[in-house]
Structure 1
């Protein structure tokens, strides 16, 4: 089926933005989503471009849509119906950004081709194609222009890799009309998006938007369907971070994995860091045995096509 496409983009969340369209509960729209650079990064770009990207123009989102009858205290449901692949994407280490920003200070850029099944990340590293929109949000009640970069309780740059086709995201309405915007599509991403980027790509996304009157929730929630396996049936390589601070534990678990990939697979540390961002899974394994908590970082062995890489 063909649905009306939203092309208009904006670069902030603001409840004073003029909506591009007024829609009704149950309407379906197709969003023509630019990559996180707004199209400034091309297949031929070099890493240097990451030092001069205009930060106020990054992560453009399509919209906003005004949902008829939506009021504070209501909930908007976004059912994700389809993602249309764009064929290629980029992963970058941007100076000053990412979990280990203080350690990775130089720009680094990787262009990846992909198809409907796989992202061809590097030589013998192939990651399952698992598209989703990193940014889905409603306008906040607070007045003024708000950056798209941080997530909020009314949604935004959530970067939840499980918001795939078939998922339903629920967001609390804070302003009249809700003002829904969607952007930041990814071909694949690891839990945590630790280097700050996934495989960023232009994509079209189709979603049905529904209103639930009076069904107040405090923050985003979602229903995730049963999905086909990521083919991660060969096990995982897992590192950990242990200590009294979860953030430092997350950093240490990722540092540990980067070190293993460097020592055992011969990877440059930038490539290892980026791989952690697009394919790893950062998890809290234990948070009850005070004073120390355990954060684990998983890399699926199935993404490595060389047997030597599976033994790191």
Structure 2
């Protein structure tokens, strides 16, 4: 079963309706967007064009059949597969480097064999995690 990246939310609330019902024990693949909802498409993208209400999307939610309020659910993450491209962005006043930059800058980077290619001679191994 696949949950597409077009099915996403930007807040967590019990008021969100599940986009799909999933049987207990069923393997589900979640397709996700990047932290900017794929709004940065090239290195000429500008900060004023980014909809900040559309950052940090979460794919879903799904309902697990037979789950009741208060139940604890055990989830096994089988794998995390990376896209072939990633994005990095800095802006004044935002994030760890926000006090060290004077303008918005973005960088698109290739991802190969679980490594980010920052520049041809700088490769960094990816730490796969969920946020």
Instruction: Tell me which interval the TM-score lies in, with the shorter structure as reference length.
Output: 0.7 to 0.9
SS of structure 2 residue aligned to 1:75? coil
The runs of at least 4 consecutive aligned structure 1 residues that moved more than 4 Å come to none
Map 1:159-308 onto structure 2 (within 5 A): none
Question: For 1:60, which of 53, 57, 62 is the aligned residue?
Answer: 57
Higher strand residue share: 1
Map 1:32-71 onto structure 2 (within 5 A): 32-42=31-41, 44-46=42-44, 48-67=45-64, 68-71=66-69
Question: CA offset at residue 100 of structure 1?
Answer: 4.4
* CA-to-aligned-CA distance 1:99-153 (integer Å, 9 cap, x gap): 343343421212111112421112421111333332xxxxxxxxxxxxxxxxxxx
Provide the C-alpha distance between the structure 1 equivalents of 2:114 and 2:55, rounded to a whole number of angstroms.
27
SS of structure 1 residue aligned to 2:75? strand
SS of structure 1 residue aligned to 2:31? strand
2:123 counterpart residue number:
126
Provide the C-alpha distance between the structure 2 equivalents of 1:106 and 1:81, rounded to a whole number of angstroms.
40
- Kept after mapping to 1: 8 A contact 2:91/2:103: yes
Q: Confirm or deny that 1:114 pairs with 2:111.
A: yes
TM-score normalised to the size of structure 1? 0.38
- Kept after mapping to 2: 8 A contact 1:51/1:94: no
Structure 1 residues 98 and 32: CA distance shift in structure 2, 3 A? same
- Kept after mapping to 2: 8 A contact 1:93/1:107: yes
- Kept after mapping to 2: 8 A contact 1:34/1:60: yes
For the aligned residues, what is the CA RMSD?
2.0
Provide the C-alpha distance between the structure 2 equivalents of 1:77 and 1:121, rounded to a whole number of angstroms.
36
Q: Confirm or deny that 1:89 pairs with 2:86.
A: yes
Higher helix residue share: 1
Provide the C-alpha distance between the structure 2 equivalents of 1:70 and 1:49, rounded to a whole number of angstroms.
45
1:290 counterpart residue number:
none
- Kept after mapping to 2: 8 A contact 1:118/1:126: yes
- Kept after mapping to 2: 8 A contact 1:115/1:129: no
- Kept after mapping to 2: 8 A contact 1:85/1:116: no
Gaps of 5+ in 1: 135-312
TM-score normalised to the size of structure 2? 0.82
Aligned length: 128
Gaps of 5+ in 2: none
Provide the C-alpha distance between the structure 2 equivalents of 1:70 and 1:85, rounded to a whole number of angstroms.
33
SS of structure 1 residue aligned to 2:74? strand
1:5 counterpart residue number:
2
Structure 1 residues 128 and 41: CA distance shift in structure 2, 3 A? same
Map 1:100-111 onto structure 2 (within 5 A): 100-111=97-108
